[in-house]
């Protein structure tokens, strides 16, 4: 049974301001909730239509769950978790990604999932990038949010303190297919509509581009998540096996 | 000024059944509408808040446009276009993509945009794949729908008649990074939740996989659109210039 107060709290958590005030966020659906539980994330409360073994939970009926769901599809479980406290260092081993002003929750979620696939543990985001605990982001990570840490930092400071090569993705850089990437590095991706902030870009020497195929008859750009997929595949292709 | 009848018609066009009955579809936003106009698609009617030069249109105010919009963001133009009549051949030059049971409009739209980027003109879809003239698909193609033809066909027939090598993307195939792709071929992608239909898969010898990085700590799969991005990049990487 869901109290009115609890219903009110959960609905509020769909807004960043209230997530930060309450230090909580919501995850929906079996895949994401179970991966967070398996990874040992601190639970506030679990609401489910099916009894769970060994996990404290509140049984609710479908209509109650629907009231607190942010998805259009039917879900059987919703978890409220405590926000994690991440420690991070500006000095990183391996390749990291930094995102400048990514607004679309689906794109951020997909990029988090890509980081997880390629074993990237830290994702740096400009403060105006969509919150990684936005319910749509959490959902589209398909559980990868439990393994990838998003750090909201000033990207100027990040680039100043970064001790590895920094690569900016632009429309007029060197072909990614001709580049040899080092083991350690930072790849900066800009928003689809505005690209990378000009002043930030001015600080970066290495600029790379995904060249269009010669048969391309008018496509001007790629979605930022698919561009990130191609770049990560190129960076890691010689190291995958 | 929008008549009640026109309002009713446009709202109906957000459903596939009525798009096919009326032979019309809706495109929203400057980018998509202008690319369709530039590519010579046959217009039924254009509704806009700003006067256009040399293009017949109906001026409407913002509140009227909002009534016929399917987007949450503000748009200044909505176009109703006639559905195209595509001719197609089972025999194709170059690489083509076939999609089995892709349900998410955003994923289909992103794959259409990828096809456009890599110069792929024909995209084959199983009949149960989401309709390419679904407004969310049209929107997420960012105009590429004007240059990529989607053909809804029986994939068994397609594979039987296909005269090129056929590649199926599975979780247990050969590494895409070790494969040499021919100039002509067909790449089959399955739905995220169910993969490729078993009987269809049984017909295909060449199976390829995107291997996970050794540092991957639990990610089980990639989004179908980002997987398509990586595969197309690999197929075309030696031919981009």
Average pLDDT over every residue of A119-140: 95
Mutate to test the interface with A, among B95, B146, B219 (most CBs of A within 10 A): B219
Asked if residue A156 and residue A107 are part of one domain, the reply reads yes
Q: Which residues of A touch B233 (CB under 8 A)?
A: 210, 229-230, 233-234
Residue in A113, A117, A177 closest to B237 by CB: A177
CA A146 remoteness from chain centre: 10
- Domain boundary residue among B82, B110, B138? B82
Angle at B22 between CA B18 and CA B24, to 5 degrees: 95
Answer whether A223 sits within 8 Å of B113, measured CB to CB.
yes
| pLDDT at residue A24, rounded to an integer | 97
Asked if residue A149 and residue A222 are part of one domain, the reply reads yes
Q: Searching chain B, which residue's CA lies closest to the CA of residue A227?
A: B229
DSSP annotation of B216 reads -
B48: CATH: 3.30.1330.30
Q: Which residues of B touch A144 (CB under 8 A)?
A: 218-219
How many Cβ atoms are within 10 Å of A84's Cβ, its own excluded? 16
ipTM attached to this prediction:
0.93
Answer whether B214 sits within 8 Å of A147, measured CB to CB.
no
Asked if residue B26 and residue B106 are part of one domain, the reply reads no
Higher pLDDT, A27 or B68: A27
A105 within domain boundaries: yes
Average pLDDT over every residue of A103-113: 95
Q: What is the count of residue pairs from A and B with beta carbons less than 8 Å apart? A: 138
The alpha-carbon gap from A73 to the nearest alpha carbon of chain B, in Å, equals 12
- Please, what's the b/e burial string for B115-125 (b: 16 or more CB within 10 A of its CB; e: otherwise)? bbbbbbbbbbb
Q: Searching chain B, which residue's CA lies closest to the CA of residue A145?
A: B219
A88 within domain boundaries: no
- Residue A185's beta-bridge partner residues? A95, A165
Q: Which residues of B touch A123 (CB under 8 A)?
A: none
Answer whether A217 sits within 8 Å of B119, measured CB to CB.
yes
Mutate to test the interface with B, among A226, A230, A234 (most CBs of B within 10 A): A226
- Domain boundary residue among B53, B82, B111? B82
Answer whether A116 sits within 8 Å of B236, measured CB to CB.
no
B88 within domain boundaries: no
Per-residue pLDDT of chain B in tens (241 residues, 90 and over written 9) = 788 899 999 999 999 999 999 999 999 999 999 999 999 999 999 999 999 888 899 999 999 899 888 877 778 999 999 999 998 888 778 899 999 999 999 999 999 999 999 999 999 999 999 999 999 999 999 999 999 999 999 999 999 999 999 999 998 899 999 999 999 999 999 987 889 999 999 999 999 999 988 788 888 889 999 999 999 999 998 776 4
**Hey, which bits of chain A come out as E strands?**
24-28, 43-48, 58-59, 77-82, 95-100, 122-125, 149-152, 165-175, 185-190, 206-209
| pLDDT at residue B240, rounded to an integer | 60
Question: Lowest-pLDDT range, A18-22, A55-59, A90-94, A134-138?
Answer: A90-94
Q: pLDDT tens digits, residue range B128-142?
A: 999 999 999 999 999
Asked if residue B47 and residue B108 are part of one domain, the reply reads no
Question: Which residues of A sit within 8 Å Cβ distance of B?
Answer: 35, 94, 106, 110, 113-114, 116-120, 140, 142-144, 146-147, 175, 177, 210-219, 221-223, 225-230, 233-234, 236-237, 239-241
Sheet holding B95-100, edge to edge: B149-152, B122-125, B95-100, B185-190, B165-175, B206-209
A87 within domain boundaries: no
Asked if residue A111 and residue A224 are part of one domain, the reply reads yes
Residue in A143, A213, A226 closest to B229 by CB: A226
Q: pLDDT tens digits, residue range A185-224?
A: 999 999 878 899 999 999 999 999 999 887 888 888 899 9
Asked if residue A198 and residue A124 are part of one domain, the reply reads yes
| Cα end-to-end distance, chain B, whole Å | 50
A103 within domain boundaries: yes
Q: What is the C-alpha separation between A204 and A164, in angstroms, rounded?
A: 12
Answer whether A213 sits within 8 Å of B237, measured CB to CB.
no
| pLDDT at residue A240, rounded to an integer | 60
Q: What is the C-alpha separation between A29 and A33, in angstroms, rounded?
A: 6
B185 within domain boundaries: yes
- Do residues B230 and B176 lie in contact, with contact meaning Cβ atoms separated by under 8 Å? yes
Asked if residue B120 and residue B64 are part of one domain, the reply reads no
| pLDDT at residue B241, rounded to an integer | 47
Q: Which residues of B touch A31 (CB under 8 A)?
A: none
Asked if residue A126 and residue A37 are part of one domain, the reply reads no
Q: Which residues of B touch A177 (CB under 8 A)?
A: 237, 240-241
Asked if residue B130 and residue B202 are part of one domain, the reply reads yes
Q: What is the C-alpha separation between A213 and B115, in angstroms, rounded?
A: 10
B146 within domain boundaries: yes
B128: CATH: 3.40.1280.10
- Domain boundary residue among A82, A111, A129? A82
Range of B8's domain? 4-82
| pLDDT at residue A175, rounded to an integer | 94
The alpha-carbon gap from B39 to the nearest alpha carbon of chain A, in Å, equals 10
Number of separate domains in chain B: 2
Backbone angles phi, psi at A53, to 5 degrees: -90, 135
Answer whether A215 sits within 8 Å of B113, measured CB to CB.
no
Q: Which residues of A touch B171 (CB under 8 A)?
A: none
Asked if residue A124 and residue A230 are part of one domain, the reply reads yes
Asked if residue B151 and residue B233 are part of one domain, the reply reads yes
- Between the alpha carbon of residue A58 and those of residues A13, A14, B52, the distances in Å are 18, 20, 57
Nearest to A111 by CA among A130, A83, A86, A89: A130
Asked if residue A214 and residue A132 are part of one domain, the reply reads yes
Question: Lowest-pLDDT range, A71-75, A201-205, A224-228?
Answer: A71-75
B122 within domain boundaries: yes
Residue in A35, A110, A210 closest to B226 by CB: A110
């Amino acid at each position: 049974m869901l109290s009115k107060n609890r219903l009110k709290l959960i609905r509020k958590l769909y807004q960043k301001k209230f997530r930060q005030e309450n230090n909580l966020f919501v995850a929906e659906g079996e895949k994401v909730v179970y991966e967070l539980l398996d990874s040992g994330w601190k639970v506030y409360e679990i609401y489910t239509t099916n009894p769970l073994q060994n996990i404290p939970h509140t049984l609710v009926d479908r209509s109650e769950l629907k009231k607190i769901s942010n998805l259009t599809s039917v879900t059987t479980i919703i978890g409220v978790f405590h926000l994690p406290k991440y420690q991070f260092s500006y000095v990183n081993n391996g390749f990291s990604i930094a995102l400048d002003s990514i607004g679309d929750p689906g794109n951020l979620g997909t990029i988090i999932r890509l980081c997880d696939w390629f074993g990237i543990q830290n994702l740096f985001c400009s403060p105006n990038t969509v919150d990684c605990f936005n319910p749509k982001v959490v959902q589209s990570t398909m559980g990868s949010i439990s393994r990838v840490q998003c750090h909201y930092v000033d990207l100027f400071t990040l680039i100043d303190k970064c001790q590895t090569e920094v690569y900016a993705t632009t429309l007029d850089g060197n072909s990614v297919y001709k580049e040899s990437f080092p083991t350690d590095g930072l790849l900066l991706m800009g928003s689809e509509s505005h690209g990378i902030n000009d002043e930030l870009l001015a600080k970066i020497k290495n600029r790379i581009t995904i060249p269009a195929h010669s048969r391309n008859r008018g496509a001007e750009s790629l979605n930022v998540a698919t561009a990130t997929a191609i770049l990560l595949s190129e960076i890691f292709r010689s190291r995958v096996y």
